[in-house]
Structure 1
Amino acid sequence: MFRSLVAIVVTLTIVLGAGWFAMRRADIPYDRLESLYAGSDSEFMPLGDDVRIHYRDVGPRDGKVLVLVHGFSASLHTWEPWIKHLARDYRVVALDLPGHGLSRCFADEPAGIGQFVDVIDRVTGQLGIEHFTLAGSSMGGHTAWNYALAHPEKLDGLVLVDASGWPSTEDEAKSSPIVFKLLANPVARNVMKDLDMSGLIRSGLEDSFSDTTRVTDAMVERYAALGRAPCHREAILGLMTRRGDRRDASDAVLAPITTPTLILQGAEDNLVPAAHGEKFHAAIAGSTFKLYANVGHLPQEEVPAESLADLRAFLSGTVYPAPAADLSAADAMAGN
């Protein structure tokens, strides 16, 4: 009996071990990833000896500046539907945060909101940008409102797109997508770190869209590949342990923000409930709130035309309104 039990245990161990090795995925070198996912206008900024930040800087050099920051495990590719239109009139800078996209990690410190705020400040500083509007999606929104608190003198406007930061209620935590429940478990994180995550990535992306047909094989492959850049898995999974100096949103924390603020929120967001967007609106005085019916976590991708129109209206009407003389000239031309 004992020998039979031992044989079963050994067999299961071999099978599970073989399965783990079959599903294990090695890192993908940066040069290979850059050949696949860097664009013709991609640039890389060194920040210290071991870090290069991937970014795009497009549009008129003398235009008002808009800086775009992606969310958790994403990359600057999420902004493509906006960038190609905004770059006609604005200088647009989109960057990959450390440990995401094609950006390297800092070897001596874990990824976190404080680090991301500092990187945005260093990148814009090296580009000679003194004032700008900052837009952030999800975790990028969490970073953006923290930047507004740290450097209010540098911001012309603030745009929060399904921004994170509010603590989840017990019911919200129970209803979170399965991929985030797994990532929140330290044992599961350690097991999953080196495995093929494509299935979970697809599940997570489908939870991010109300219209799941927008999730393509190419999108899943891009997320999976960029997540396998050296150090990225550790950085992304480390963010789930709340390492770094992350603080939660509250009315008291957000009260000092006086920067003109636009809040865009998908009504069907499974990751950041619409109620959180309403909380940002209530906590940030004078903010503008837009709620999109039948839209999930990524309005910039799911309803690019509608969200872009709201962004443009905010920029031209609130942040960078045309001088009165220009408006009079425009009215006169319209009359002709």
Structure 2
Amino acid sequence: MKRFLRRAGLVLLVVLLGCGLFVLAARSGWLRPDDKDLRARYGLSGSQYVTIGGQELHLVEEGSGPAVILVHGSYGSLRMWNEWADRLKRRYRVIRFDRPGMGLSGPNGDARYDGDAEAELIGKLADHLKLTRFTLVGTSSSGEGAAHFAALHPERIDAVILANIAAGPLVMHPQQRSAMFKVAAMVDPWLKGWHSQALWRGVLETNYVDKAKVTPELVREWTELNNRTQGWPRKPWPSGKPFSGTPDDLAAIKAPTLLLWSDRDPETPVEVDGRRALALLASTDKALVTIPDCGHMMPQECGPQSAVAAATFLDRLHFGETKP
């Protein structure tokens, strides 16, 4: 019995030592992936790495025709729009970029990631690309900056598409979490900004309806791209709370606007945020279209279906067509 207890104690000591070394490595940034490897793994054939107004951006342009700028949601990357780009580039000049502090873009030099900063960047990007007018698309948190730009610069906007945005201060709704996600979330604060694959799998599965689409490859992508930004500073929103100005911005948008909403969005439910956004919009050409069997990360989980809805809307405006 004593020999067994000694061995058990030795095993426990080794396990504790291993856990301690792992936490130290994570907190120290030793597990952060290499940028060169990430560009090789997650860059696209058309990837450009440019500096616009002092901001390093990962940018992709495809197709020709009326310009469309796609802005992805929190913790994602321009890869979220792959299926939208495949559909829209047949008739449009499709522009997408990694938001500052996400994907393969660099940090914001002033550590600002609020809606004002993102609206400023959209304007600088449009100037850099010599765009006079364009359609602006935002999903989830990028709806704040997209709506703000559209409200401030109506002369540059052909149309607006907003998907699963917060139509006012975000109210978090209780969500069912797996046991593994709960454990990962409990351990996460100890890792000083480094996040495990278990945590990102939980985030994705919570926001997906079809859990089978949360593949190991997708989990690895989100884990590696987000751990790239470990330790980058972030200033708080000037207003103290994200999306507080979005209602005023929606009320100022008069351009044709399509609201795309997932019917099973756990973060910004269509019954709350979708209906409110539709009521707030000043546009006389506006519609709320629901994508069935879809969660919060619409362009990533339900790319083909939502891209068809966006193309139908844009084809009507630009080419007078009404068929998908």
Give TM class, smaller chain. 0.7 to 0.9
Letter in 1 for 2:276: K
Q: Is the 8 A contact 2:167 2:247 kept in 1?
A: no
Instruction: Please state if 1:29 is matched with 2:28.
Output: no
Q: Is the 8 A contact 1:82 1:300 kept in 2?
A: yes
Q: Which of 271, 280, 283 pairs up with 2:280?
A: 283
Counterpart Cα distance in 1 of 2:60 and 2:154: 24
Give CA-to-partner distance per residue, 1:17-70, whole Å, 9 cap, x none.
345236555322322211111111111221355x3201111102xx10110000
Q: Match for residue 221 of structure 1?
A: 220
Q: Is the 8 A contact 1:66 1:93 kept in 2?
A: yes
Letter in 1 for 2:154: P
Counterpart Cα distance in 2 of 1:86 and 1:208: 25
Q: Match for residue 84 of structure 2?
A: 82
The count of corresponding residues between Structure 1 and Structure 2 is 299
**Secondary structure at the residue paired with 1:158?**
strand
Q: Is the 8 A contact 1:255 1:284 kept in 2?
A: yes
Moved more, 294-303 or 280-289: 294-303
Q: Match for residue 40 of structure 1?
A: 45
**Secondary structure at the residue paired with 2:279?**
helix
Instruction: Please state if 1:134 is matched with 2:136.
Output: yes
Q: Match for residue 56 of structure 2?
A: 52
Give the percent of matched residue pairs that are identical in Structure 1 and Structure 2. Answer: 25
How far did 1:197 drift?
2.1
**Secondary structure at the residue paired with 1:94?**
strand
Letter in 1 for 2:105: S
Letter in 1 for 2:278: H
Q: Match for residue 195 of structure 1?
A: 194
Moved more, 209-218 or 13-22: 13-22
How far did 1:152 drift?
1.6
In structure 2, do the counterparts of structure 1 residues 259 and 233 end up closer, same or farther at CA, with 3 Å as the change threshold? farther
How far did 1:289 drift?
0.3
Q: TM-score, normalised by structure 1?
A: 0.79
Aligned pairs for 1:1-336 (under 5 A) are 17-21=20-24, 26-48=31-53, 51-60=55-64, 63-169=65-171, 172-175=172-175, 191-229=190-228, 232-235=229-232, 238=234, 242=237, 246-249=242-245, 251-274=247-270, 275-285=272-282, 286=284, 287-317=286-316, 319-322=317-320
How far did 1:161 drift?
1.1
Q: Is the 8 A contact 2:167 2:276 kept in 1?
A: no
**Secondary structure at the residue paired with 1:308?**
helix
**Secondary structure at the residue paired with 1:233?**
coil
Q: Is the 8 A contact 2:111 2:234 kept in 1?
A: no
Letter in 2 for 1:105: P
Q: Is the 8 A contact 2:26 2:192 kept in 1?
A: no
Letter in 2 for 1:312: A
Q: Which runs of 5+ in 2 are unaligned?
A: 1-12
Q: Is the 8 A contact 1:160 1:263 kept in 2?
A: yes
Letter in 2 for 1:211: D
Q: Which runs of 5+ in 1 are unaligned?
A: 1-10, 328-336
Counterpart Cα distance in 2 of 1:196 and 1:250: 30
How far did 1:148 drift?
0.9
Root-mean-square deviation (Å): 3.0
How far did 1:175 drift?
4.0
